[in-house]
Amino acid sequence: SASTGPPPPVPGRPPLVAAAMFAAVPFIRAAAANSRRGALAGALGARRHLSLHEYQSLALFQDFGVAVPKIAVAHSVTEATEIAKGFPGDEVVIKTQVLAGGRGLGHFKENNFQGGVHIIKKDKASEFAEKMLGKTLVTKQTGAAGKPCNVVMFAEKFQIKTEKYFAILMDRGSGGPIMIGSKTGGTSIEDIAAKDPSAIVKSPVDIMEGLSSAQAKEMAVKMGFEGAKADAAAVSIENLYKVFIECDCTMVEINPFAELTDGRVIVCDAKVGFDDNAEFRQMAIHDKRDMSQEDPQEVEAKKYDLNYIKLDGSVACMVNGAGLAMSTMDLLALVGGSPANFLDVGGAANKDTICAAFKIIQGDPDVKSIFINIFGGIMRCDVIADGVVAAVKEVGLTKPLVVRLVGTNVELGKKIIQDSGLPVFAISDFSEAAQKAVDVAK
């Protein structure tokens, strides 16, 4: 049979093999943080995945037999005071719950309180909860807008002896899940990999055979666990794999995976992503989605099955087909502009969907002009035109609008827009239309 190995490299282009990817460590966490406002591919990857708060992930792990610390959550200052009393000892850990990394080094926008993670005296629980709850945490991953903190998590205080890193995600190179580990954890895995790529241990898992106890033990040993600690780590690794498979995860990331001074081996912190495409069979998990942590425009777009991602530019795009959408964004950049969003209305859109899409992009305060670029195939040009006219009649037209319609029912679409009397720049040439959209945005 023919080889199923990776394709040969393209001359003049660096090879994109899995090993190189993991050496650079563009994990999903980094993609969400660093690429969302620049590289569309990273942003698209991030948007496919439901993310849970730390306390939700740890509770899920516990249900699958993964060793985790004692935790409890509070939604109010009063709850925080009572919950803290239930932990042993004089001190407890309080952690703000927002969907972003770098919480410990972040600050709260409203009161400039520093740090979203603290070890505190139990009688100080209400004081710290007051400074966190209802406030906005800004970290290196949230951007200046920050994320709202509606919940704080309390965890038992413990002493960590050693910290490891562990993750499971899908790997195109091996065609299935891959385990990623390191003897060093508790800090940015991206920094560890950049400093010493050999510190990263990789172990592909045959998705048909699953993860064996022997392979889990081997991974634990490679991560630096020894003796009985390796056995305990292997049990949690096996159960984390069960979570990954049975819950339709796209990523399970543990940092740190720690050995404590009291002899326990536990998962201290976790990030878990779930495939949105599996929502129909993971309803209980997806019901935990915290919409307050997501962009309101993206939440609204999801209601209408629109593929929408907000970006940093000033020219809003409404396009049908991901390929044309990406080409449109590239062309806007080439002619001196920048896209304000990625918006693919798809081939099954109707008048209501188009109307909703138009409201979303016109409602973005960063948008200075709107570029509608439709190649009518499955999606007819007259449907797009009807939706745009209906939306403008409902909410008005407050920003310059450039429309390019080509393909099925193009003449009918143009007639609908012309008869509407809307102040629209109707341009058939792709490059000219893109240039006009950029010019009127300035």
- Active-site positions read 165, 253
Dihedral sign (CA 421, 427, 432, 435):
positive
CA dihedral 100, 101, 104, 107 (to 10 degrees): -50
C-beta neighbour count of 14 within 10 angstroms: 8
Listed residue (366, 10, 64) closest to 237, CA to CA: 64
Cα R_g (the chain), whole angstroms: 25
Dihedral sign (CA 144, 147, 148, 154):
negative
The runs of H, that is alpha helices, within 363-409 are 381-395
Q: Are 166 and 181 a contacting pair, CB within 8 Å?
A: yes
Alpha-carbon distance 134 to 152, whole Å? 10
Whole-number Cα distances in Å, 283 to 62, 274, 277, 286:
19, 11, 11, 5
Alpha-carbon distance 176 to 186, whole Å? 27
Alpha-carbon distance 258 to 57, whole Å? 17
DSSP SS3 for 435: helix
Q: Are 352 and 406 a contacting pair, CB within 8 Å?
A: no
Alpha-carbon distance 281 to 290, whole Å? 19
Please, which residues bridge with residue 414 across strands? none
Largest interatomic CA distance in the chain: 79
Listed residue (89, 46, 48, 50) closest to 69, CA to CA: 89
Alpha-carbon distance 234 to 117, whole Å? 29
Q: Are 132 and 230 a contacting pair, CB within 8 Å?
A: no
DSSP SS3 for 51: strand
